Structure 1
């Protein structure tokens, strides 16, 4: 028998073929594993971005509603309704509270706003005038009501027992002398999340503390459990009627290998092909709702395609290398054995070139597919960045609109006065008003310039500003209102008083405070406003105050006066943003603002302007 080392196949030793086979297996396995690793990492990164977006959307949307019950609970009419005895006293207050709740629900876009007495009975509701009103419903068994009475606030996801509509409930206690007299509850729909999150090839869901899917882009999975529910937990669910008596079935799925701390492979039903299941990459993280978790299932088929592509690529390379090895062997054999003829050699060469061209075409197609997939991934990332920019522009536009309202009102007043001056042939006064309009327009241009600082906050540059000139500008804007309302004005600002501030923002602050003072005295028999400035006890500081003869500020509102959406004005006459913006402007140029009630009646706002050294401003 011939030695093993001497056995040849097509002119190549058998050990050479064995070495090539081992090398091919190692290379193919390594390439496939590398392609799979990179693809799954990319899919996991996309899933992580998705979870970030979903968590931000939940946090932003739910944050809009979380403070609503607390705001409603502080309303005097709501507190009076809960304090009133059932009967005629409560019936007299009920229409006003019902209309208020209806308006709040309409403004916030929720499903319902309810006032609940201490026994758990709904005594006022935003849907008071609808066929399926919640008034008279007892919710004492609901966890959000029990948590509100026990801890001051509560949150709970459940299905409405009256409507069968699922939603998220926020509740806040209404306190009377430090003790809960009842609660205010707001119900929010979650349907918008399911529509916004729906994306081909993936499933997004929110799983509550019971392990039950409460929000899902796959409708058939809603209210299915991912983990078995214990008998004790089942009794608690039935007691709270969380799912309105619906049977909670276990969603058939299988947990597979774990990929990372927050991701693992799992098999779930394929919602595109009923009766089939599919392997997904499952990513999860805690949701903004306490006890809940966000989950996203991503199809791993793209990773399988990458794996097959890498395997085909390595196979093609080895086939080309093998073919070239065979070609070289055949060529050497052809040279050594010229007797086999030129025709056989030409035929073998043509066949080899055709095979190489075919394999090269396959490689080109595979490379083109990889380039298309890379471009698609880059386009997806650009869309995510664009969505983030749109959200920030929305917030900036809301703030800028409020900032422009005051100058626009002033422009209208000055233009009306200018027209009156022209009709009376008082041209110098008309020209002076037009010049003031021009300055206001310049100030509005400064405000709109903030849009250029899209991704960063503009730096405030305080300078020395004449306080009496700034006050005169604010008084000029309200000259007509002061005259029409016969307001007694007392201005005591020493000549030459200067403060460190940003000029346009200081004027905005003074206009806001003077406008609030005019609103406070508008309906009073004695209408007076005092404006005063004097040096503070500490050197370099100036105290400026605006006081009115109005009714003052309610004690429960005073600590929250500079918070957004807090207002003492009647409904429809203010959004509660003016003082919040004023406070932000004052803090921006290093000063401090305080509000208090005067001993002899009325409110007083005081601004303490800091010195140049304390604010860190260097003039130059």
Structure 2
């Protein structure tokens, strides 16, 4: 219970929200009830004006017809016709018919006619029309009975001949001996109903039976607004007041009283069939005795005013609530700000201490980092030096492998030089200078060849720099072939060279030569056990992408699949133990990558292996660098 009391929503205690909700509900109820009463009072005032207007128009419209029968009964020809009855002259009957037609035309009524005491119509204004009243018996009609008994009669009903509703007035034709007949007039109420029609309203006249006889809603005519007893239903059927049709109740529901003159009810909505609508019903006695005028007024505007009142109260509460929440939040923000300032001061103090500590740590860390950077720079330099040493070691290893061949290549010229020099001395002793000079020239050529070979060895063995320049692939291949030429010749290997003239790639000259020598050395090792020993070197002109494909293909047994996947890793070799360390292809791969090229190896379907190097053409590289 305690936690419930102290519970808060948006900083406001829960009991505060409950109190606000109760206050809102009370004010909203009062405001809606006030708006309802005020709006309904205004609607009722309008309805009162409507009732007065309808009553005045009903009295004015029907009152001018009420005197028509009284005027007709004063006509001498009417008395003469009723006295003679069946023995009347045709001329007299025609004169009365003509007179009645003139009266009907001037009055604007439906029909004016003359009735015998037995209820038979003997003359009428519509004597010459198809639906003439002449010959019709109306003895059952209350207006005729009341006229003979009381001198005048009034009745609303549906015409027997025409089937059209109307209002009937009748006056007795009297002579000293009593009533000898009656004169009657039928009036249409269609014009009156049209004049009463107002949007969202309905007006009707209810007769003494409780039946709607005049209505701005045609579907409601001749329906009862209150229950009709069986005896009264029998009387209505006998009088044929409604042309013999059964009177059905009007389907409406009374909801409650407004005051002594009005009540609320649910009536069918004539603008939307099948629906019901709430109305304020006001009634007033009609000028004719026993009738009443009822007007139905739509209360939707009053309901709308209720919604406006609810919206107004809701808006006020929202504004007040927002203002209250703003005030609470503002106070909380101030408190939080003060609290944050205190926290900030504490944090600043702690931060200063932390900054001093971290500054000392960073100073120490920077010193350690500087030392580590220097050590890393030295390590990288040492690594580069080691890589160069490794490359140089690879060259020396190749030179060691070529030592025997080089010794043979140098021994032959040296023996020839010794022989030629001895022969030259002998020729000079014999005073034969020409042969001696020829021997000396041959010795010079042999020395040039030896110098060329040793020069290639010197170039191959020296430590390379790191500069990458355009290198002629033809020259690099020729220099590499010269270094292993003795082995190619001694091992009877056929070498096929197909290097396009002028092919230039981007590389370091001595490293490129070392790469080709390594690949040629591996190829020579691969074809050594074979009967047919062939090595092919191919290089084509640059393709459309500026690449040069260089291949070295041998006719050996190929590379084992388990070795092929790791061929360019250090210490991976296919040579017998003691004949290789497995560094040659690893060094070759690193050198090729340094050129910006790619090296790969594959076994050929027809046998043998092929090494491919995808170089960047020097012209393309030069353009990119330029």
Partner of 1:367: none
Separation in 1, partners of 2:143, 2:297: 34
Q: How does 1:141-540 map to 2 (within 5 A)?
A: 141-177=140-176, 179-338=178-337
Q: Is the 8 A contact 1:157 1:242 kept in 2?
A: yes
Partner of 1:516: none
Partner of 2:138: 139
**Alignment partner of 2:26: what SS?**
helix
Partner of 1:68: 68
Partner of 2:58: 58
Cα distance change, pair 179–333 in 1 and its aligned pair in 2 (3 A): same
Deviations 1:279-323 (A, max 9, x none): 111111111122111111111111111101100110010010010
Q: Is 1:116 the equivalent of 2:115?
A: yes
Separation in 1, partners of 2:270, 2:191: 20
> What's the offset of the Cα at 1:339?
6.1
Q: Is 1:43 the equivalent of 2:43?
A: yes
TM-score, normalising length from structure 2? Answer: 0.53
- From the CA coordinates, give the structure whose radius of gyration is larger: 2
Q: Is 1:16 the equivalent of 2:8?
A: no
Partner of 1:368: none
Separation in 2, partners of 1:83, 1:109: 28
TM-score, normalising length from structure 1? Answer: 0.53
Unpaired stretches in structure 2, ≥5 consecutive residues = 342-626
Aligned length: 341
Q: Is the 8 A contact 1:334 1:340 kept in 2?
A: no
**Alignment partner of 2:307: what SS?**
helix
Separation in 1, partners of 2:130, 2:17: 84
Separation in 1, partners of 2:106, 2:43: 40
> What's the offset of the Cα at 1:17?
2.5
Separation in 2, partners of 1:218, 1:296: 11
Q: Is 1:84 the equivalent of 2:110?
A: no
Cα distance change, pair 340–117 in 1 and its aligned pair in 2 (3 A): farther
Separation in 1, partners of 2:246, 2:7: 72
Deviations 1:492-526 (A, max 9, x none): xxxxxxxxxxxxxxxxxxxxxxxxxxxxxxxxxxx
Separation in 1, partners of 2:232, 2:89: 39
> What's the offset of the Cα at 1:131?
1.7
Unpaired stretches in structure 1, ≥5 consecutive residues = 343-620
Q: Is the 8 A contact 1:282 1:296 kept in 2?
A: yes
**Alignment partner of 1:28: what SS?**
helix
Partner of 1:506: none
**Alignment partner of 2:213: what SS?**
strand
**Alignment partner of 1:196: what SS?**
helix
Separation in 1, partners of 2:328, 2:90: 105
**Alignment partner of 2:86: what SS?**
coil
> What's the offset of the Cα at 1:4?
6.5
Cα distance change, pair 233–90 in 1 and its aligned pair in 2 (3 A): farther
Partner of 1:104: 103
Instruction: Give the superposed CA RMSD.
Output: 1.8
Separation in 1, partners of 2:175, 2:136: 23
Deviations 1:25-58 (A, max 9, x none): 1111110000000111111111111111111110
> What's the offset of the Cα at 1:14?
3.4
Separation in 2, partners of 1:177, 1:60: 34
Q: Is the 8 A contact 1:262 1:285 kept in 2?
A: yes
Separation in 2, partners of 1:132, 1:10: 84
